[in-house]
Each structure stands twice: as structure tokens, then as C-alpha cells.
Amino acid sequence: MEIMTGMKCDIEILDTSLRDGAQGEGIVFSVRDKLAVAQALDELGVAWIEAGNPGSNPKDLEFFRLAPSLKLKHAKLCAFGSTRKKGIKAADDGQLRSLLDAGTEGVVIFGKSWDLHVTDVLRVELEENIAMIAETVAFLRAEGRAVIYDAEHYFDGWAANPQYALSTLKAATDAGADRIVLCDTNGGSFPDAVIAGVRAASQSAALKQAAVLGIHAHNDCGLALANTIGAVQAGCVHVQGTLAGFGERCGNTALAALIPSLELKLALRCLPEGKLARIGDLTRRVAEIANVSISDDMPYVGAHAFSHKAGMHADGILKVRRSFEHIDPAAVGNDRHFLMSEVGGRSAIAERVKKIDPAITKDHPVIAALSEKLKSLEAEGWAFEGADASFEILVRRELGKYKPLFHIEAYRVMSEHPSGGAIACSHAWVKVLVEDQYEIAAAEGDGPVNALDGALRRALTRFFPNLAKMRLDDYKVRVIDGKDATAAQVRVLIESTDSQRSWNTVGVSADIIDASRAALVDSIEYKLISDMEKHNES
């Protein structure tokens, strides 16, 4: 199958985060959010952005009204809708009119390919469904729109009644559809069935040269990525998915995992030159707008994708990087992480220490000292593999390059739990010393740690204004050994952010407030030290 004129890449990417992605549980986009996501996807360089259904809600209508202000450089917008209703002409269908009114260059239309849906869901005759598909595509093409036809439930339909499923594709192709997208709508197909279904479509005489074939997979069996890659290898050159993978039920094909595989493993260009290195950053931006978390173990862009804990792994990578890494992390905008633990080995420790002092080698005495210190602290319940910022401060102490920027002279935390259904709250008071000046501050919070964090940063912001941009992003507590019941040691992990980056710190104590204090102090000091070094470099 030849790629259509105008496709500059080997594989054409359509992102449906704003339509299918918005159907995922807990995903609620405002109009401003939708505009921000579209901007991020354009920066990545996807070919199409499926931006919503203007016939379904006022929010999507407002988005399409404002969309021209985005001045997109790479992506083209498309509106989404269904074939005409049964028993009326396409020109008289209000939903199709709303697609035209959206003013997008492309339109995505879905129609039924599974005879079960035609007879039992739409409740129309099989031939009427064929007419609905053909007349809708022809109408939109006559109005000057590029038409992407989504063959809904194609693989289920092809398995049940292959002749009818292929006849629906033929109807869309003969009517002028530019792309024919084969949809695994229920997400229940296996790769062998997807490959066979794609080949059946590509070998059909009516489709062979007439339109570009595409794939739209859902992840209900955890196979969306595998099914999409199989479909591409079988002949699909148009791929649909959502960048971060969220969507209806178990989600859609995660483009952040798919695109690097296609580009780096199969040498199929999906994005404009140089854009792949931004996929990690932009995936995180879209996820933040959607208020979802990127799984740490997500391929390519997850925080753990290039993390190494075993000492021999770290040693191998430092000698020959491809020995334990399948790609260069920088290719997808990610970083290599050596996790600091008792099993990490001196090579991994030395590599981390070099970021602070490039002259340090794994044979330096400080590396041996740090290795023993790590083992001792981990025996007490400390864990630094998820607390890079605390480990960096530990390194600075061992190197003699650490000077406390402030000292907590005293602090007090109290919680109130009024009777009668009143809302509980916590109060914190703190006295800090910065050089030779004292500052006292208090704050109220939703809990004791929130209150202590607020009071501490309020006291320090007079000396360090950049702390105003810092906030806690996540807070975790783990009991280290439950044998001591309520007297057990607890480990507190805190994730902090200043909207530009995130970092993690740890504290351990039998007192949960004291463990939180230790993690908070490390978090603030790491922020201050990093900002000072960044300022000195500039």
C-alpha cells in the first residue's frame, strides 16, 4: 500500500487524547486544558489531533471556536462523529452539520463493521448500514473535508462475518474515504487476529490502492501496543492512540511507548526530525494537564525506564552502555538513574558522586565510606533508591561540601479534632535560624505534615524567596518493622516540585512527625542548593 501524498513520515500519527482519552475515568478537560493539550501535541509533531465531538457538548464547540488561535505548526485538527442517522439524508443530519461547522480540515467518522452491532444495537438492515457509511463519507468529501473512516469493531466483525466487515470498508473506500482505520474497539483481540484482519483488508481488491489503512487499538487485554505494532508490520501506516495511554476503560495505545519503538526499532519515522527527544517531556506535560500520573515503569518515558540497581548492571553500563540498556535514554528525553542501595555497588555510587565532584573515581576512599554508610543506614530502615535528593545531601556531607543553610531551633505541631462534625485541622509553629537571624512562623494545614511544611517555608521565604514556588507533590509513609507496633520506625518519602522539576527525599524515625521533618529539611535544602548552583553556572 502506498502512503498518500502529503504524508511526510513513514507512519502518520493521530492522537485522540482530547476525544477517546477524555472518555477515560477521571479525565475532565476544561476548554483551556484542551487548548493546552493540543499545543503540546503540535509541539511533538503529530499529524492529526482528534479534538472532540462538536455535536455532543458545548465545551467541544467552544474549543473548535477558539482553536484557530493556536496557530498549529505541525498538526491538523479533526472533529469526530458518527455516520448519519438511519432513515434521513446526510445533508439533513444535524450532527454531520456540526462537524462541518467545526471548521476542521479533517473529520473522523465511525461506522459499524460488526453485523451484531448493526442488527442488535443500531437495529437497522445490513444494507441500510452500508448506505449510511457511503452517503456520510460522500457528503463530507463533497464538502471538502478529508475523511478518516473508523471501522468500529472491525476485528470482531471480521471474525464473525468477514464478508460483511470487508463490505463496510469497501463502502467507505468507494465513497472517497482518505483513511480506513481498523478498530479493536473492545480491546479483546490478540496480535495474530489483528495481523490477519489487517492483511485481509489490505489484500481486498477494493482497498488495495484506494486508501491508507490505519489501526486503533484499546488495551483491555494489555495488548494495545503489541496489536498496533503487529498492525503496522502487516501494512497499517496510520496509527491512532493517546500520548499517555489513558482512554476508555483500560485505555488506548500509549503513543509515548509506541512511537519510540517504531522509530528506534523499526526505523519508521513518525515525527518530524528532532522531535522524538521531546516525547518524555511532552508526555508528562499532557499527563499533568489531565491530572493523571505517568506510571514509573512506563516504557521509554517512565521514571524507572532507565533505572539500575544491581551493582553488576551499573558496572556493565559504565563499561558498555548497551550491555544493559536497549536504547540511549537521551533519545526519548529521559535520564539514566543509578539507584543507591546496599546492592548498588561502588561503580554506581561513583557515577552519582561525579555529578558533584567529577574528579571522584570508584577507587576513591569516599566511595568506600559511602558504600559502608549506605549499608548501615539501610539496616536502620533508610532507603535512598527513591530519594535521590537526600542521597545527594548525604554525598555532600561525606565530601565536606555541605553547609546547612538554616537550622530549626524548635518546632511544635498540634492537631484538633472538634466534636459535632466540625472539620479537623492541624497547626504548626517553628523557629528557624538563618546565619545569625531568627524567624518564627506558624501555619494551619489539613494535617500535621502539611501544617509543618507551611510554617517552615513561611519562616524561610523571607531569606529565600524562591521557596514560594515550591510545594509538596506526594507523601508516603511505610512502617519499617511492625513487630514494635505503634513504637515502630517509620520511613517517610516526600516528592517536591517547583513546577520545573521534581525531587524526592526521605526521613526515618520512630516519630512520624520527626521523620517528616527530616524529609522536609532535605527537600528544602536540595532546592536551595540546586538553585544556587544553577545561578552560579549562569
Q: Identify whether 299 is part of a domain.
A: no
Q: Identify whether 6 is part of a domain.
A: no
Q: Is the pLDDT of residue 347 over 90?
A: no
Q: Is the pLDDT of residue 7 over 70?
A: no
pLDDT in tens, 33-80: 999 999 999 999 999 999 999 988 888 999 999 999 999 999 999 999
Q: Is the pLDDT of residue 5 over 60?
A: no
CA 2 to chain centre: 32
Q: What percent of the chain has pLDDT over 90?
A: 62
Q: Is the pLDDT of residue 342 over 60?
A: no
Q: Identify whether 167 is part of a domain.
A: yes
Residues 137 and 107 in one domain: yes
Tell me the three-class secondary structure of 96-139, residue by residue. Answer: HHHHHHCCCCEEEEEEECCHHHHHHHHCCCHHHHHHHHHHHHHH
Categorize the per-residue pLDDT at 359 as very low, low, confident or very high, splitting at 50, 70 and 90: confident
CA 173 to chain centre: 35
* Predicted local confidence at residue 206, as pLDDT: 64
* Predicted local confidence at residue 3, as pLDDT: 36
Residues 263 and 313 in one domain: no
Residues 411 and 466 in one domain: yes
* Predicted local confidence at residue 6, as pLDDT: 47
Mean pLDDT estimate for the chain: 88
Domains identified in the chain, total number: 3
Residues 255 and 119 in one domain: yes
Q: Is the pLDDT of residue 230 over 60?
A: yes
Q: Identify whether 385 is part of a domain.
A: no
Higher pLDDT, 254 or 384: 254
* Predicted local confidence at residue 341, as pLDDT: 53
C-alpha cell at 94: 444535524
Q: Identify whether 118 is part of a domain.
A: yes
Categorize the per-residue pLDDT at 268 as very low, low, confident or very high, splitting at 50, 70 and 90: very high
Q: Is the pLDDT of residue 480 over 90?
A: no
| DSSP assigned state of 183 | E
pLDDT in tens, 493-526: 999 988 778 898 999 998 999 999 999 999 999 9
Residues 237 and 373 in one domain: no
* Predicted local confidence at residue 337, as pLDDT: 66
Q: Identify whether 297 is part of a domain.
A: no
Residues 238 and 331 in one domain: no
| Section 7-31 average pLDDT | 93
- The strand pairing partners of 476, in sequence order, are 493
pTM for the whole thing? 0.72
CATH number for the domain spanning 494: value is 3.30.160.270
**Do residues 88 and 71 make contact, with C-beta atoms less than 8 angstroms apart?**
no
Task: Output the DSSP codes for 271-329.
Answer: S-TT-GGGHHHHHHHHHHHHT-PPPTT-TTTSTTTTEE-SHHHHHHHHH-GGGT-SS-G
Q: Is the pLDDT of residue 28 over 60?
A: yes
Categorize the per-residue pLDDT at 1 as very low, low, confident or very high, splitting at 50, 70 and 90: very low
| Section 124-144 average pLDDT | 97
Lowest mean pLDDT among 2-11, 258-267, 451-460: 2-11
Helix, strand and coil in the chain, % to nearest 5: 45, 20, 35
Q: Identify whether 435 is part of a domain.
A: yes
Q: Is the pLDDT of residue 123 over 80?
A: yes
Categorize the per-residue pLDDT at 431 as very low, low, confident or very high, splitting at 50, 70 and 90: very high
Last residue of a domain, one of 255, 290, 325: 290
Which of these, 207, 117, 197, lies nearest to 169 by C-alpha position?
Answer: 207
CA 7 to chain centre: 26
* Predicted local confidence at residue 20, as pLDDT: 96
Residues 262 and 313 in one domain: no
Q: What percent of the chain has pLDDT over 70?
A: 90
Q: Can you give the residue range of the structural domain that contains 30?
A: 12-290
C-alpha cell at 426: 492541624
pLDDT in tens, 276-308: 999 999 998 999 889 888 888 999 998 778 776
Last residue of a domain, one of 238, 263, 290: 290
CATH number for the domain spanning 157: value is 3.20.20.70
Lowest mean pLDDT among 213-217, 231-235, 441-445: 441-445
Residues 87 and 229 in one domain: yes
* Predicted local confidence at residue 364, as pLDDT: 84
Q: Is the pLDDT of residue 124 over 80?
A: yes
Residues 201 and 336 in one domain: no
Residues 253 and 332 in one domain: no
Residues 152 and 245 in one domain: yes
Please report, to the nearest 10 degrees, the dihedral formed by the alpha carbons of residues 174, 179, 182, 184 taken in order.
Answer: -140
What single-letter amino acid sits at 271? L
Residues 353 and 268 in one domain: no
Q: Identify whether 501 is part of a domain.
A: yes
